[in-house]
């Protein structure tokens, strides 16, 4: 069954916004649980060192302090489990509280629990940790070759992999042009509105109820149960409203295990609310890659070979971020048909805070590397960068297309997206203005492009639809909204299949006691995977209702028709509510569609003051193709939000460490994020290439701006400055960076 209803594509306002904008949402920090204590963490002030001891006596002596514990007091604490790649963590255990060594500034060394947060923070300040400093490694390339080992006997390269075959030297020697460059993807903070938060209440039966700001509640339930020897059904995980996640709340963080242990030991509820300083200095960070590229082409600009070497900073422990550079590797070729490709990736431990997926999770890093290099190639050949892109695109008749790195792209029309972007940007007009300014000596402008492909969706997802006797329907999903608007868009999918008004469908998710299984929301998978599961479940619900009515009326199933909530056979009819009144009427579905590959094209126009290095973005155009869009209003919001974050990476954001490994950006006065005042005139447009592998036709949406905006802006600045070499132009494009590159 296909979703033909006009409900698909309707710009329905988000249901959840009514309560959220009125301040009526309920986050972990809003919960009022009787007898709840507050926890804070004592954190290492050294980036690397031997932990000699933790003196907790002064903290324990303060009134209204319930507990103060180091690892020695909680030796049963389980190690933090790896998120995806168990091989990279072997020989590199991550204790929730530091044991013999600290490996990044901000690593928890003790927990203090008090009657309220103020008491706990006072007690925290009374704790003294004795740490003998060790040499600090901050750069992943340096760390990979260093004699200093963060985990003695295991080395600093946690994972290493190659994709494609090494490229013969003759290719580089015989090519008309070969360009080389080095790029740095700086470390970023996730900067959610609501930081990480968890509240754990021990139950009388030995189980736990856990309220947590999270993206994958069933995974967290599994990890807590496994770590503490409980059955999964003894751990009830509830995700209330979430103030953003961006990949940083998919994981099981060390603090979660310590709060669980504290609640069980004290027999009382314990809550931890991360503050902004903790969020900026400790894990998770995003990005963090050193990239070295080489590209060969013929005189016409046709790419012959592409080589990418990645040294990825996964921080002090590789448990949450080592698979991200592998995702970069597999997306290395972007939108281009390149005959020879070789990628080598190393995930390297350093003395920075551990990295994790950050909005885009590997795809922005890949797009930045190849898109900056394609622009460099065009500049070196004296050709238009749009023309070089068109010459190398994978064309629509080539799909499904197997990339040299192991993905199978499902569908796409990359040239069409670029054409729309150039038209929306007024590309020719800005080129004329660029020439005019150069002729009269006015401040230079530059035009930058990016065409990207991203991967969306992974694994299976659970969905169920139940008809109720009052005429309403309940949709249940294993996804976990952290702001994506599921309460609105998922009912649209179900309503479209059932042919009823979306208001008759309500969604339940984010509660492991009600939803039997689920993977969660990340990797732009919610609509593509979870929405598709609900689409199929709604179709199965109709089939189940037809079967029940056929049995009730003693007619063949083939004679029972369904339309708009009513079943008919001959002269008789019954509503779904009538059928549901005879007993539970529900259909469950677990669905695992193939990964999809959304794509798009971005264009940016910038002005650069060569004397001050200041960059002003004059115009930004974003053209995205997500397949079938269920709710364009929601997708527009996702696009705007991710584009703002992309602008942030390009121009402002950077987690900076001093030479001792201490974070210098400890507040939002130091870590700059764009506000509405910094947003340029922006135009959003779409093309539509339906996903051929699901009945809904949707591909993932929500991360594209982080992928497309940064290289478009960087390419525009390089164009404005007329740079032949691009290594000096690294994000963020601060005035000093641009001023230096211009010289």
Check which CATH number belongs to the domain holding 479 and give it. 3.30.365.10
Could you give the 3-state DSSP secondary structure of residue 664?
coil
Assess whether 563 and 526 both reside in one domain.
Answer: yes
Contact criterion met (CB below 8 Å) for 256 and 240: no
Contacts of 554 (CB under 8 A, 6+ apart): none
Q: What is the dihedral of CA 437, 438, 442, 444, to 10 degrees?
A: 90
Residue-wise pLDDT for 10-26, tens only, equals 999 999 999 999 999 99
Antiparallel, parallel or unpaired: β 270-273 and 235-238: unpaired
**Pairing verdict, β 340-349 and 303-315:** parallel
**Number of folded domains that form the chain:** 3
Quote the pLDDT of residue 458: 85
Q: Are residues 290 and 258 in the same domain?
A: no
Which residue's structure tokens are 């080389």? 180
What was the pLDDT predicted at 5? 57
CA-CA distance, 587 to 540, in Å (whole number)? Answer: 6
Note whether 397 and 462 are same-domain residues: no
Is the pLDDT at 170 greater than 80? The verdict is yes
Q: What percent of the chain has pLDDT over 70?
A: 99
Reduce the DSSP state of residue 362 to 3 states and report it. Answer: coil
Q: What is the pTM of this model?
A: 0.96
Q: What is the CATH number of the domain that holds 253?
A: 3.90.1170.50
Which of 591, 613, 633 is where one domain is finished?
591
517: left (phi over 0), alpha (psi -120 to 50) or beta: beta
- What pLDDT score does 726 carry? 87
At 584-607, the pLDDT tens digits run 999 999 999 999 999 999 999 999
Same domain, 618 and 469: no
The residue from 575, 591, 607 where one domain ends is: 591
| Residue 478 sits in the same domain as residue 450 | no
426 with 304, same domain: the answer is: yes
**pLDDT tens sequence across 659-670:** 999 999 999 999
92 and 204 belong to one structural domain: yes
Phi, psi of 384 (to 5 degrees): -70, 135
**Number of other CB atoms surrounding residue 570 within 10 Å:** 9
Give the max Cα distance, the chain.
87
473-477/461-467 β-pairing: antiparallel
> Do residues 720 and 608 lie in contact, with contact meaning Cβ atoms separated by under 8 Å?
yes
39 assigned to some structural domain: yes
Instruction: Write out pLDDT tens, residues 139-157.
Output: 999 999 999 999 999 999 9
Domain annotation covers residue 478: yes
Query: Are 201 and 326 contained in the same domain?
Result: no
Q: What is the DSSP string of 570-628?
A: TTEEEEHHHHHTTS-EEEEEEE-PPPB--EEEEEEEEEE-TTT--EEEEEEEEEEE-BS
Instruction: Report H helices in 290-362.
Output: 324-330
What's the CA gap between 600 and 686, in Å, rounded?
8
Q: Does residue 161 lie within any of the structural domains?
A: no
DSSP assignment of 225-275 equals HHHHT--GGGEEEE----S--TTTTSS--HHHHHHHHHHHHHTS-EEEE--
Q: Is 205 exposed, middle or buried (0-12, 13-18, 19+ CB in 10 A)?
A: exposed
- Is the CB of residue 519 less than 8 Å from the CB of residue 218? yes
Closest-CA residue to 381 (of 679, 724, 642): 724
Q: Is the pLDDT of residue 3 over 70?
A: no
Say if CB 106 and CB 281 are below 8 A apart: yes
The residue behind tokens 């329907």 is 473
Asked if residue 583 is part of any domain, the answer here is yes
pLDDT in tens, 458-499: 899 999 999 999 999 999 999 999 999 999 999 999 999 999
CA 29 to chain CA centroid, nearest Å: 23
Indicate if 395 and 475 belong to the same structural domain. Answer: no
- Is 362 a member of any domain? yes
Q: How confident is the model at residue 84, as a pLDDT?
A: 84
Domain hosting 570: range is 17-24+458-591
Same domain, 66 and 124: yes
* 4 band by pLDDT with thresholds 50, 70 and 90: very low
Mean pLDDT of 522-539: 96
Mean pLDDT over 348-361 rounds to 97
Q: How far apart are CA 68 and CA 97, in angstroms?
A: 12
Q: How far is CA 447 from CA 79, 88, 547, 717, in A?
A: 49, 41, 61, 8
pLDDT (tens digit, 9 = 90+) per residue, 197-252? 999 999 999 999 999 999 999 999 999 999 999 999 999 999 999 999 999 999 99
Residue 105: closest CA among 50, 53, 46, 151: 46
Distance CA 174, CA 494 (A): 57
Confidence label for 315 from pLDDT (cuts 50, 70 and 90): very high
Rounded Cα distance between 416 and 437, Å, is: 30
* Class of residue 735 by CB neighbours under 10 A (exposed 0-12, middle 13-18, buried 19+): middle
For residue 52, being part of any structural domain is answered with yes
In-domain check, residue 442:
yes
- Please say which residue of 538, 562, 591 terminates a domain: 591
Residue 165 is assigned to a structural domain of this protein: no
CA distance 495 to 542: 12
* Over residues 698-726, mean pLDDT: 96
Q: Are residues 477 and 616 in the same domain?
A: no
Pair (451, 467) in one structural domain: no
Q: What are the Cα distances from residue 47, in Å, to 73, 132, 253, 457?
A: 23, 11, 19, 36
pLDDT of residue 1: 37
């Amino acid at each position: 069954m296909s979703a033909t209803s006009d409900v698909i594509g309707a710009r329905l306002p988000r249901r959840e916004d009514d309560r959220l904008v009125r301040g009526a949402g309920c986050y972990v920090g809003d919960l009022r649980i009787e007898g709840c204590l507050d926890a804070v963490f004592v954190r290492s002030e050294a980036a690397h060192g031997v932990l000699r001891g933790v003196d907790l006596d002064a903290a324990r002596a303060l009134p209204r302090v319930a507990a103060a514990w180091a690892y020695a007091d909680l030796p049963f604490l389980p190690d933090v489990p790896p998120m995806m790649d168990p091989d990279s963590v072997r020989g590199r255990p991550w204790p929730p509280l530091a044991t013999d060594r600290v490996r990044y500034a901000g690593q928890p060394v003790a927990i203090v629990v008090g009657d309220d947060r103020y008491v706990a923070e006072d007690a925290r300040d009374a704790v003294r940790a004795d740490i003998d400093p060790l040499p600090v490694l901050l750069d992943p390339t340096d760390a990979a070759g260093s004699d200093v080992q963060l985990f003695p006997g295991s080395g600093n390269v946690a994972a290493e992999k190659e994709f494609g075959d090494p490229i013969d030297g003759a290719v580089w020697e015989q090519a008309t042009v070969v360009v080389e460059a080095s790029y740095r993807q700086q470390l970023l903070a996730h900067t959610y509105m609501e930081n990480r938060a968890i509240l754990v209440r021990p139950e009388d039966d030995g189980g736990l109820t856990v309220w947590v700001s999270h993206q994958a509640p069933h995974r967290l339930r599994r990890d807590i149960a496994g770590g503490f020897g409980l059955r999964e059904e003894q751990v009830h995980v509830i995700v209330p409203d979430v103030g953003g996640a961006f990949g940083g709340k998919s994981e099981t963080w060390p603090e979660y295990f310590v709060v669980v242990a504290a609640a069980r030991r004290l027999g009382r509820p314990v809550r931890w609310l991360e503050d902004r300083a903790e969020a900026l200095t400790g894990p998770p960070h995003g990005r963090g890659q050193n990239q070295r590229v080489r590209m060969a082409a013929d005189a016409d600009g046709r790419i012959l070979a592409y080589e990418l070497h990645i040294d990825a900073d996964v921080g002090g422990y590789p448990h949450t971020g080592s698979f991200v550079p592998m995702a970069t590797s597999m997306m290395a070729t972007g939108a281009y048909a390149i005959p020879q490709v070789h990628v080598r990736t190393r995930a390297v431990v350093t003395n920075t805070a551990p990295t994790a997926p950050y909005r885009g999770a590997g795809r922005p890093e890949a797009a930045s590397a190849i898109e900056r290099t394609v622009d460099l190639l065009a500049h070196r050949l004296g050709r238009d960068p749009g023309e070089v892109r068109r010459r190398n695109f994978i064309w629509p008749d080539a799909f499904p297309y197997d990339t040299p790195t192991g993905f199978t792209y499902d569908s796409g029309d990359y040239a069409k997206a670029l054409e729309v972007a150039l038209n929306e940007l007024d590309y020719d007009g800005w080129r004329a203005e660029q020439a005019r300014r150069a002729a009269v000596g006015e401040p230079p402008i530059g035009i930058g492009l990016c065409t990207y492909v991203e991967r969306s969706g992974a694994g299976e997802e659970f969905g169920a639809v139940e008809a109720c006797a009052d005429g309403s329907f309940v949709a249940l999903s294993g996804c976990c909204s952290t702001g994506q608007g599921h309460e609105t868009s998922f009912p649209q999918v179900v309503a479209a299949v059932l042919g009823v008004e979306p208001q008759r469908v309500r969604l339940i998710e984010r509660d492991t006691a009600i939803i039997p299984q689920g993977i969660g929301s990340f990797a732009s998978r919610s609509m593509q995977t979870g929405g598709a599961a609900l689409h199929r479940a709604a179709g199965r619900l109709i089939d189940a209702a037809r079967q029940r009515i056929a049995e009730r009326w003693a007619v063949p199933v083939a004679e029972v028709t369904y339309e708009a909530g009513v079943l008919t056979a001959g002269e008789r009819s019954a509503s779904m509510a009538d059928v549901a009144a005879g007993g539970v009427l529900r259909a469950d579905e677990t669905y695992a569609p193939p990964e999809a590959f959304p794509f798009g094209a971005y264009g940016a126009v910038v002005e650069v003051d060569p004397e001050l290095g200041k960059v002003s973005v004059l115009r930004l155009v974003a053209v995205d193709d997500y397949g079938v869009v269920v709710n364009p209003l929601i997708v527009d919001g996702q696009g705007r939000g991710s584009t703002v974050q992309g602008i942030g990476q390009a121009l402002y954001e950077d987690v900076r460490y001093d030479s001792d490994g201490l974070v210098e950006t400890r507040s939002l006065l130091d870590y700059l994020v764009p506000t509405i005042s910094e947003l340029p005139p922006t135009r959003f447009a779409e093309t539509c290439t339906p996903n051929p592998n699901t009945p809904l036709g949707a591909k993932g949406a929500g991360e594209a701006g982080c992928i497309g905006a940064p290289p478009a802006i960087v390419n525009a600045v390089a164009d404005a400055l007329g740079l032949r070499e691009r290594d000096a132009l690294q994000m963020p494009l601060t005035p000093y960076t641009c001023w230096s590159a211009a010289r």
